[in-house]
A and B are shown apart, each in its own frame.
Chain A
Amino acid sequence: MKPAPFQYHRPATVAETVDLLGAHGDEAKPLAGGQSLIPMLALRLARFEHLVDVNFVEGLAAIARDDGWLRIGAMTRQAALERDATVASAAPLLSRATPLIGHFQIRNRGTVGGSLAHADPASEYPAVAVALGAELEVSSKAGPRTVAADDFFVGTWTTALADGELLTAVRVPVWSGRCGFAVEEMARRLGDFALCGAAVAVRLSDDGSDAVAAAGIGLFGVGPTPIHAQQAESALVAGERDLAEIGRLAMADSEPSDDVHATARYRSSVGAHLVARALEPALAEAKGGGA
């Protein structure tokens, strides 16, 4: 299992990086934590003439909270995010989803941006991004642009990133007020990609009642992309309290498929349960005053 030959580049700045990516187009790939890319190269499932190592690029690993948003640099290691107090208070859902990513050895290398840009539909961060309404910051030789999470994930391992573009950061809106968050997933073993899973966020009304003012539900492992379960969110905000029904509504937006680990039917059935299992503690947390 040796990768096909490639040329290795190690830029120091974002400008150098996007120059390289721009020059080599679809023959180049950024190398972040390498937890998915390197095995795919070794298995020769993926081939790139040029690998652009972004591990030494300055300024890509900062975490900052500002004006209702949490900004996380793309090269932030998952393990660093997991331990970060700012993330824990501004985006508890991200913190809680992180221990479910692989094993700690993987999180030591794996990056936030790498996981989002790799866009495995069974991974946690993309689902969290759509649940919370995150935005992704992208740079290229043409300059920066921002893409909403809902528009970023196009298909399995496919995003709105064009050739020559680099994901530099993710911006997550801070959900404030009486909020609750939870992630539930079913994986074959500890650390495996989920067969199916749900990341949920709820905010209760400012009037002190238990009415749900806002809801975010992101599903993973049940379609070619993370699924933003908007029908289920609307029903929650409209007052639906039967969580099993919310779970079924969430699955109405999903497109699960079969693989060696589980059938589509399994993913659909269990996904509905997991939505309900996540919403129950999230609602309880919000009623208790919030995360």
Chain B
Amino acid sequence: MTVTAGRFVGQSVKRKEDPRLVTGHGTYVDDITVPGLLHAAFLRSDVARARITSIDTGAAAALEGVHAILTATDLNDHVRGPMLPTLFVDGAQGPSAPIKPLAAGDVRFVGDPIALVVAESRAVAEDACDLIEVGYDILEPVVDFEQAASSTELVHAELGSNVGSTMALPPDESLDAAFADADRVVAATFHQHRHTNVPMETRGIVAAFDRYRDELRVWMSSQNPHEVRLCCARILGLPENKVRVTQSDVGGGFGQKYFMPHDEMVIVLASHLLGRPIKWIEDRRENLVASNHARADKADVQLAVDADGRFVAARIDHLEDSGAYPMGGTGGTGAFVAMLFTGPYRVPKLGWSTTAVWTNTCGRGAYRGPWMFETVARESLVDVVAREIGVDPLELRRRNVIQREELPYASPSGIVFDNVSPAETLEQAATLIGYDEFRREQAAARDEGRYLGIGLGLYIEPQAGMGPLGVEAAGLRVEPNGTVNVFLGSGSHGQSLETTMAQVVAEHLGVDVDAVVVHQGDTDIAPFGGGTGGSRSGPFLSSAARQAARQIRDKAIQIAAHMLEAAPEDLDLDGGVVAVVGTPTRSVTLADVAKTAYLGSDALPPGMEPGLEVVTRYKAPTVTFSNACHACTCEVDVETGRIRLLRYVVSEDCGAMINPMVVEGQIAGGVAQGIGGVLYEHVVYDEAGNPLTATFMDYLLPTAAEVPTIEYGHIETPGITPGSHKGMGEGGAIGAPPAVFNAVADALAPLGVRLTRQPLTPSAILDAIDAAQRSPVQR
């Protein structure tokens, strides 16, 4: 099957967002000001676990310019509903930590908010924070998540256990038999270290409660303004029509801003209590220490193979670190890690367990591909198996990857993959990177004492469309002058939706892309929607926009048919003009049609409702799948541990691309984050639970100098949404870690090195080489 590009859909249309953003004229939440605005700063715990013995705010309260200092005593009784994401309120998504606005009686991680200072400026608020004296009775913290389950110290004493959730498949004799009968069983343990989202724009909010109107106005750096509205209404006990949330330009979120985070809820409560507008802009140290962390996982994994190197069974026992206050509940991600573990391979049997534990650290949150450890663990394991059985990793994948003719393919977890192309992307990536030629180059380099490596990362990326994630809305209004306004319940924060959704509407309505203006991020303007996250906007939001455009197009043609005294089926709407096909002189403009629709209702077809606008909702399929293969080459300096990435290739299949430039931009951003994750980014705590990586001097992000040029290949297997689009926003960050990890492991394999942990710092590389030299691995 092939996909044909349209006039607008499928074209690399330049981004409508860019003129304002690249010239520095975007409007971010810190650009918002309102009369009487006050500024807030949090006093946060600087110990990981302690009883609070005293809080003395006297000196701080006396500081000139301080308006209020709020502690748990002032604020905690002010909450009218659960401070949880709407999805988690009913408890069905797993247990939640006992969340409070401000620490009451004890603190549970470094960064736990104890007091909120509200002052005339942020600087004064910070000065006041310095003057607050907190007395602590220090307790032993739970820092190491691998020890949490067995620790007698409890992060949340009221929950009675450090195990937040645990799930496992029941014992399965046929699985045991498959392992017992296998030719080889290869086992490994992989660790993925803690890192964090690091949006370029930190979190921030302006909350203005008007006690005379009993209304709340919120501007927030968010991915999901309607979720913020639900949350604000819930915690204040306000009706939703008394809350308006606006999200303007947003400098990234990567999951951090999908739900309404804790600290923003505190600002809303404070504004409600004080009756004053309050701005809180998170600083970078707070963002690194107290927003949310992600990724901290460990898995014991096994893969059983037959004599031909075919996978016969797999097992994953997964442990994740939830921190103290994960965003939402816990235990949701682990099940996806487990169930998706077999990925794009033919694996008849799977066993799994997954456990989430509480620790006295910053809470876990969603980060681009929250379940992606399945790909890290699987792809790393496939390379270990390849080395153990002496088969090239590409060849081993070829033997086991699901082929197109096997689709639909039901995984052992019962997930039915269809409309995917893992085998094709594997081959395209191998061709683009020149796999066989690289193997020759690598052999020649090894003769010179140089260590080159190549790594692959193959995966299938799901987009969940179940429950509240499965409905997207679009409003479309052709104004009386013929211009087109589109209203979306999305929360674009870098995804280019103002451009791509305009392309979809232009294509299906029949107007120029420049004639379409997309509005989103304002709950008073946009229909209720699911925000932007989970790679859903591309496939699902576009379907709603397309549906709206087609409905309006049909109505415009009916009106025009009446005006032209022609049959609707003889008319076409193109370039903003409705004309009789083959007789272009018999035409009316869309502006004429719209004017008639609103102002000349006597000229409408009998019985037709006036106006040219619609709000429509699209119900998504339960799940859609995109897929990709990443390939990376590197050279490792075995004297210094320096890793240099040589080439980076991505073969991506997200179905029909709405805008190839945007697709490649999304891949590039994700790949940079994946490279950063494996080589640089690491949230480090010491044994006392102190974060050691609270600035960009210590938490290292990849820069343009560290990310190689990314080469792209595209395969467009149509998906099951009306436009054949599939989501791909997260994939770059899913495929890159194993590709980089496997490339380094491949480079060092001749030295007997086995890598099992990230990040691959220069120090870690030399330690791994030393370890291999001290105890050579039996090959």
Please give the residue numbers on chain A whose beta carbons come within 8 Å of chain B beta carbons, in ascending order.
Answer: 1-5, 39, 43-44, 186, 188-193, 195, 260-263, 266, 269-270, 273-274
Contact status A2-B680, CB under 8 Å: no
Contact status B705-A192, CB under 8 Å: no
- Enumerate 17 A-B pairs (CB-CB under 8 Å) in ascending A order: A1-B283, A1-B284, A2-B122, A3-B123, A5-B123, A188-B680, A188-B762, A189-B703, A190-B703, A261-B761, A261-B763, A262-B763, A263-B767, A266-B766, A270-B639, A270-B641, A273-B639
**Given the complex of chains A and B, what is the CA–CA distance between A76 and B93 in angstroms?**
60
Contact status B692-A260, CB under 8 Å: yes
- Which A residues lie within 8 Å of B536 (CB)? none
Contact status B761-A2, CB under 8 Å: no
Residue of B nearest to A189 (CB): B706
Residue of A nearest to B692 (CB): A260
**Given the complex of chains A and B, what is the CA–CA distance between A287 and B703 in angstroms?**
38
10 cross-chain pairs, A with B, having the tightest CB-CB distances, nearest first: A190-B705, A2-B123, A262-B763, A266-B763, A1-B283, A273-B639, A260-B684, A2-B126, A270-B640, A260-B692
- Which B residues lie within 8 Å of A3 (CB)? 123
Additional pairs, 18, CB under 8 Å, beyond known A1-B283, A189-B703, A266-B763: A1-B126, A2-B122, A3-B123, A5-B127, A43-B285, A44-B130, A188-B761, A188-B762, A189-B680, A189-B700, A189-B702, A193-B697, A260-B698, A262-B763, A270-B639, A270-B640, A273-B639, A274-B640
Contact status A260-B130, CB under 8 Å: no
A2-B123, A43-B695 given as contacts; is B705 within 8 A of A191 (CB)?
A: yes
CB of A136 to closest CB in B, whole Å: 26
**Given the complex of chains A and B, what is the CA–CA distance between A38 and B343 in angstroms?**
49
CB of B318 to closest CB in A, whole Å: 26
**Given the complex of chains A and B, what is the CA–CA distance between A44 and B684 in angstroms?**
21
Contact status B640-A273, CB under 8 Å: yes
Contact status B130-A262, CB under 8 Å: no
Q: Does B682 contact A (CB under 8 A)?
A: yes
**Given the complex of chains A and B, what is the CA–CA distance between A160 and B680 in angstroms?**
36
CB of B625 to closest CB in A, whole Å: 35
- Which B residues lie within 8 Å of A43 (CB)? 285, 695
**Given the complex of chains A and B, what is the CA–CA distance between A44 and B129 in angstroms?**
12
**Which residues of chain B from 274 to 294 have a CB within 8 Å of any chain A CB?**
283-285
Contact status A266-B762, CB under 8 Å: yes
**Given the complex of chains A and B, what is the CA–CA distance between A263 and B692 in angstroms?**
15
- Which A residues lie within 8 Å of B684 (CB)? 260
CB-contact partner of B127 in A4, A263, A273, A274, under 8 A: A4
Contact status A186-B640, CB under 8 Å: yes
Q: Does B399 contact A (CB under 8 A)?
A: no
Q: Does B100 contact A (CB under 8 A)?
A: no
Residue of A nearest to B696 (CB): A39
Q: Dominant SS at the A interface?
A: loop
CB of B637 to closest CB in A, whole Å: 9
CB of B65 to closest CB in A, whole Å: 11
Q: Does B78 contact A (CB under 8 A)?
A: no
**Which residues of chain B from 586 to 629 have a CB within 8 Å of any chain A CB?**
none
A4-B130, A192-B700 given as contacts; is B706 within 8 A of A186 (CB)?
A: no
CB of A125 to closest CB in B, whole Å: 18
Residue of B nearest to A193 (CB): B697
- Which A residues lie within 8 Å of B705 (CB)? 189-191
Interface centre among B285, B705, B761 (most CB of A within 10 A): B761
**Which residues of chain B from 692 to 751 have a CB within 8 Å of any chain A CB?**
692-693, 695, 697-698, 700, 702-703, 705-706
**Given the complex of chains A and B, what is the CA–CA distance between A261 and B762 in angstroms?**
9
- Which B residues lie within 8 Å of A189 (CB)? 680, 700, 702-703, 705-706
- Which A residues lie within 8 Å of B706 (CB)? 189-190
CB-contact partner of A269 in B680, B692, B766, under 8 A: B766
CB of A123 to closest CB in B, whole Å: 13
Residue of A nearest to B284 (CB): A1
CB-contact partner of A186 in B123, B642, B682, B767, under 8 A: B642
- Which A residues lie within 8 Å of B641 (CB)? 266, 270
1/0 per residue, CB under 8 A from A, across B673-703: the answer is: 0000000101010000000110101101011
- Which B residues lie within 8 Å of A44 (CB)? 126, 130
- Which B residues lie within 8 Å of A5 (CB)? 123, 127
**Given the complex of chains A and B, what is the CA–CA distance between A288 and B767 in angstroms?**
38
**Given the complex of chains A and B, what is the CA–CA distance between A263 and B764 in angstroms?**
9
**Given the complex of chains A and B, what is the CA–CA distance between A1 and B125 in angstroms?**
11
**Given the complex of chains A and B, what is the CA–CA distance between A195 and B700 in angstroms?**
13
**Given the complex of chains A and B, what is the CA–CA distance between A192 and B130 in angstroms?**
31
- Which B residues lie within 8 Å of A191 (CB)? 703, 705
- Which B residues lie within 8 Å of A266 (CB)? 641, 762-763, 766-767
**Given the complex of chains A and B, what is the CA–CA distance between A143 and B41 in angstroms?**
46
**Given the complex of chains A and B, what is the CA–CA distance between A269 and B761 in angstroms?**
15
CB of A188 to closest CB in B, whole Å: 6
**Given the complex of chains A and B, what is the CA–CA distance between A227 and B126 in angstroms?**
39
- Which B residues lie within 8 Å of A193 (CB)? 697
Contact status B123-A188, CB under 8 Å: no
Residue of B nearest to A47 (CB): B130
- Which A residues lie within 8 Å of B695 (CB)? 39, 43
1/0 per residue, CB under 8 A from A, across B324-358: the answer is: 00000000000000000000000000000000000
- Which A residues lie within 8 Å of B283 (CB)? 1
**Given the complex of chains A and B, what is the CA–CA distance between A260 and B122 in angstroms?**
31
Residue of A nearest to B766 (CB): A266
Residue of B nearest to A190 (CB): B705
A5-B127, A188-B680, A190-B703 given as contacts; is B761 within 8 A of A262 (CB)?
A: yes
